[in-house]
Structure 1
Amino acid sequence: MVDGVIINADSMQIYDQLSILSARPTAEEMGDVEHRLYGYVDPSERYSVGRWLDDAVEAIKDVRAGGQCPILVGGTGLYFKALLEGLNMVPEVPDTIRTFWEGELDRLASPEALHAILAERDPAMAASLKPADGQRVLRALEILDATGKSLLEWQKSDALRQDPAIAAGAIRLALCPPRELVYEKIEKRFDQMVELGGIREAVHMTSLGLAPELPAMKAIGVSYLADFAEGRIGYDEAIALCKRDTRRYAKRQMTWIRNQMSDWPQFDSAEAAIAHFLIEMKK
């Protein structure tokens, strides 16, 4: 047995009002095992990889200080990459600058319009972003105003936020079941989400009046299920679109694992991964 604490590495399971559609572990599933970094962020916040890195490092150090084993679980590959390889040292943005650009996005009511501003001030950075990606466009403008330098320059810097002690001795495991099995589980799991109240949760999320560009509002299921509830599309169409987007997301995750985690041991079942983990823990 391992005296461990589960630490979340999923970018949607952090939100406190998005438990069903993010498939956040229930109290029953957690059992008597401590879980951290789940459901603790308000969906109105623009939570970033950098903030997760800070939160995760703090949690890992705290768990280790208590003599327990931190076990990070989740499907956000960029989180693991930041934790193990470091993150570019981009300065914090003052609240005044962040508030200004968020206000501009609200005023213009169009991420494309904000992208046009970025294109005038920082053409190279604008060319690397999709005009509809409001959050990344915002980030680029904020960094430009706060530092006087393009985000591209910061991203190319060799300076990294990294704590080598965190990655030292880490046991890395990638769970990669056959694609057919993954798609089959997606079908069943999304049906379960709907039965558990996924439509109600989607309606609640849209009722908060949050900007659609916020990460929490991009959770799979929120827009289509809310559209169904408002009578804009039919039930079967909404469910089909949600499952389609989930399959596409799973495919991107598998591609990330192949390209970014090629040196990680990969397993086609949880049982095989756990067995390997227990063997490694004994070494």
Structure 2
Amino acid sequence: MSAETTPIAQIVLIVAGPTASGKSALALDMADAFDGVVINADSMQVYKELRVLSARPDDDEIARAPHRLYGVLSGAEACSAGKWREMAMAEIADCHVKGKLPIITGGTGMYLNALTAGIAPIPDVPARIRESVMAELAEIGHAAFFEKFKRDDPETAAKLDGNNTQRMIRAAEVLAHTGRGLASWHTEPVITPPENMVFKKLCYMPPRDILYDRCNRRFDLMIEKGAIDEVRDLIAMNLPQTAPVMKAVGVRELSAYLLGTTDLETARELSQRETRRYAKRQLTWFRHQMTDKEIIDAQYSESLADKLRHDINQFLLTTPK
């Protein structure tokens, strides 16, 4: 391809990391420095009902730079990696048209992987199909549902953990909608990013003791900011327990408190423990699954911010246009 016909490079900055790491503050600082737009890649921050428990940016942070894909879906909807990728690609394209730097930030590995590495071309599943699948699950029970699924799609079932309800529902709804199992779809060529899309990946992973302390302190702050009322409103929506929004850390534990089956201190301790466990899983995923990343494992400081601004500026200047 000649220089005249080579597409202009479209740069995307990714600021990834585990929950409570401080990646959102880092992304916002970079948005200030490079006229950027912060685009959410957290599977819980897409839901409008989870402003507190998902630690969505507050009004002051949103005033500093444009934020996209935060609170854009109802908790009654399911957001797949494919659906998120489609929304994210639209926001990235809008940034490039306006001369803004798209800054993807979040901790949902499968979303980031779908964007940077590609995703199988599985059609989006209509809500009515998903509701039908969940109704059948509720009617016949988990064990019977999985046995039926194994008969209907043995190839996919052989690769599933039968105890993972969310994955099982996803596999069943894809089969119901398309007539093909997930295992079959995953043999198709993946939908990859445009050839001219260039990713700069920063992975912010503070020392584990600092991260765990942040997890604990942040959940206490969530309680102060109204997490209990947020869960009370979620319960009033009468969503099925299999709905993704109900899987957010803290929802199950605070629901138990509100329903009177546990006390607040126990709910708090269990939520903090689950947050730490989630952060540990994220650390493992980013370290071993995310490719071509720059790991930042120091505490955030102004000197670190200066270095990152310098590095990103050099990347922007030296990436072939």
Partner of 2:41: 9
Partner of 2:28: none
SS at match of 1:236: helix
1:159-238 counterparts in 2 under 5 A? 159-165=189-195, 168-238=197-267
Alignment TM-score, normalising by the size of structure 1: 0.92
Structure 2: tracts of 5 or more residues without a match: 1-32
Q: For the residues of structure 2 that align with 1:160 and 1:219, how far apart are their CA atoms?
A: 29
SS at match of 1:243: helix
Does the C-alpha gap of structure 1 residues 161 and 232 become closer, same or farther in structure 2, counting only changes over 3 Å? same
Preserved CA contact (<8 Å) 2:43 2:108 = yes
Higher-RCO chain (CA-CA 8 Å, sequence separation at least 6) = 2
Q: Which moved more, 1:195-204 or 1:114-123?
A: 114-123
Structure 1: tracts of 5 or more residues without a match: none
Partner of 1:71: 103
Q: For the residues of structure 2 that align with 1:165 and 1:5, how far apart are their CA atoms?
A: 22
Q: For the residues of structure 2 that align with 1:105 and 1:255, how far apart are their CA atoms?
A: 32
Q: For the residues of structure 2 that align with 1:112 and 1:179, how far apart are their CA atoms?
A: 38
Partner of 2:53: 21
Aligned residues: 280
Partner of 2:290: 261
Q: For the residues of structure 2 that align with 1:95 and 1:216, how far apart are their CA atoms?
A: 15
Preserved CA contact (<8 Å) 2:129 2:173 = yes
Q: For the residues of structure 2 that align with 1:163 and 1:207, how far apart are their CA atoms?
A: 40
Q: For the residues of structure 2 that align with 1:226 and 1:99, how far apart are their CA atoms?
A: 23
Is residue 155 from structure 1 mapped to residue 190 from structure 2 by the alignment?
A: no
Over aligned residue pairs, what C-alpha RMSD do you find?
1.9
Preserved CA contact (<8 Å) 1:177 1:267 = yes
Task: Please report how far the alpha carbon of residue 140 of structure 1 lies from its aligned counterpart in structure 2 after TM superposition.
Answer: 1.7
Task: Please report how far the alpha carbon of residue 90 of structure 1 lies from its aligned counterpart in structure 2 after TM superposition.
Answer: 1.6
Does the C-alpha gap of structure 1 residues 163 and 219 become closer, same or farther in structure 2, counting only changes over 3 Å? same
1:50-89 counterparts in 2 under 5 A? 50-89=82-121
Q: For the residues of structure 1 that align with 2:283 and 2:41, how far apart are their CA atoms?
A: 16
Task: Please report how far the alpha carbon of residue 164 of structure 1 lies from its aligned counterpart in structure 2 after TM superposition.
Answer: 1.8
Alignment TM-score, normalising by the size of structure 2: 0.82
Preserved CA contact (<8 Å) 1:17 1:205 = yes
Q: Which moved more, 1:24-33 or 1:216-225?
A: 24-33
**Deviations along 1:81-139, whole A, 9 cap, x unmatched?**
1101110112344565444323313433x333321210121223223223343332222
